[in-house]
Amino acid sequence: MSRVPGNQASTVLRGPGRGNAPRLPDNTAAEHIEVARLALAQLPRRLRRRVLIRTDSGGGTHDFLAWLSSPGRRLHYTVGMTITEDMAQAILALPDRVWEPACDAGGQVRPGAWVAELTGLLDLTGWPAGMRVIVRKERPHPGAQLRFTDLDGHRFTCFATDARRGQLADLELRHRRRARCEDRIRAAKDTGLRNLPLHGFAQNQLWCELVAMACELTAWMGMLALDGPARSWEPKRLRLRLFAAAGRLARGSRRLRLRIAATWPWAAQLTAAISRLQALAPG
């Protein structure tokens, strides 16, 4: 989900009562809706209607898309879709002239990859009005093993979106950038999610909550306090360059100052981050 930092997939869903209520099954539409609600609740109210929700094919379900498209919610979506037999037949029926070059992460034409639209070739009865289905075709890299969903020697992926404007290549690139969630998962593992250090289930559950909270704090810190390349620093680099910086608190002139050694290589980034946070503080 855009505008939402942190790894929302780590949210734990519980039932009421003494802990014996049934837990929501994994990877269901109900769980996707609950996680989306929890993520939206973190945003200021004025921004909750300007959100793009991106998921992999696990989110390409009737119930989840119906919830996203319900009147008054004003959310936008781009979600992966599992390639069905009808989609496979529609893909093979596409003439060569409709395929457009795809873009790489930098927005440049990527050799060996193309995009096309399937919307007019599919029966979308029961899906939200205005939904479009776009397919990406690419040549697998040398040595890659083909999957059973690969057709005609190419690898295909589909996604659905409510976007009415934009070039197909730009919409596909926007959807593919949801892979940044993998960066969040890696950051969570570096923060403490790689291993569960305690013995009891409830203790490890609390540990996961603390890790999720730490991920939220570092993600918001990157957005609010850091600038430039420092915004993409992950936990290992943050610990080395910022969190481990030696400093001394000094009082004078009725003010509290943090003094950092001028020889610290990243002193400028640290002092700039503190200044930005002070500027955001109320009063």
The predicted-structure confidence for 112-171, as pLDDT tens digits, reads as follows: 899 999 999 999 999 999 999 999 999 877 766 666 666 667 889 999 999 998 999 999
- 3 pLDDT more than 60: no
Indicate whether 46 and 154 sit together in one domain. yes
Domain's final residue, options 151, 181, 211: 181
Q: Is 268 in the same domain as 128?
A: no
Same domain, 171 and 257: no
Question: What is the number of domains present in the chain?
Answer: 2
Residue 2 pLDDT more than 50? Answer: no
Higher per-residue pLDDT: 101 or 44:
101
Give me the pLDDT at residue 22, please.
40
- Does 214 fall in a domain? no
Distance of alpha carbon 159 from alpha carbon 60, whole angstroms: 8
Residue range 234-267, pLDDT digits in tens: 999 999 998 888 888 888 888 888 888 888 888 8
What is the pTM assigned to this prediction? 0.71
Q: Dihedral through CA 26, CA 27, CA 31, CA 36, nearest 10?
A: 140
Distance CA 28, CA 32 (A): 6
* Burial (Cβ within 10 Å: 0-12, 13-18, ≥19) of residue 196: middle
Nearest Cα to Cα of residue 79 among 131, 139, 40: 131
DSSP H helical segments within 3-149, as ranges?
Answer: 29-40, 62-68, 85-93
Q: Stretch 25-40: mean pLDDT, rounded?
A: 83
Distance of CA 247 to the CA centre of its chain: 35
Q: Which of 5-19, 56-70, 176-190 has the lowest mean pLDDT?
A: 5-19
- Residue 217 in any domain: the answer is no
Residue 189 included in any domain: no
Question: Does residue 172 share a domain with residue 62?
Answer: yes
Domain finish residue from 119, 150, 181: 181
Q: How far apart are the first and last CA of the chain?
A: 32
Identify any residues that bridge with 247 across adjacent strands, giving them in sequence order.
260
Q: Are residues 62 and 139 in the same domain?
A: yes
Q: What is the pLDDT of residue 198?
A: 92
The answer as to whether 235 is a domain residue is yes
Mean pLDDT computed over 83-91: 90
Distance CA 138, CA 153 (A): 9
pLDDT tens, position by position, 171-229: 999 999 888 888 888 999 999 999 999 999 999 999 999 999 999 899 889 989 998 88
Tell me: pLDDT of 272 over 50: yes
- Asked whether residue 126 falls in the same domain as residue 248, the answer is no
Separation between Cα atoms, residue 251 and residue 68, nearest integer Å: 52
Q: Which domain holds residue 61?
A: 8-181
Instruction: Summarize pLDDT for 94-107 with one digit per residue, the tens.
Output: 998 999 999 988 88
Instruction: Please give the single-letter amino acid code of residue 178.
Output: R
Confidence of residue 26 (pLDDT cuts 50, 70, 90): low
Domain identity same for 133 and 255: no
Question: How does strand 76-81 pair with strand 155-161?
Answer: antiparallel
Same domain, 232 and 134: no
Q: Does 121 share its domain with 250?
A: no
Looking at residue 11, its pLDDT comes to 31
In this structure, the answer to whether residues 112 and 249 fall within a common structural domain is no
My answer on whether 166 and 238 are in the same domain is no
Task: Determine the Cα–Cα distance for residues 181 and 158; give it in Å rounded to an integer.
Answer: 19
* Cα dist from 224 to 42, 192, 278, 281, whole Å: 15, 23, 11, 11
**Domain co-membership, 156 together with 39:** yes
Q: Report if residue 186 sits inside a domain.
A: no
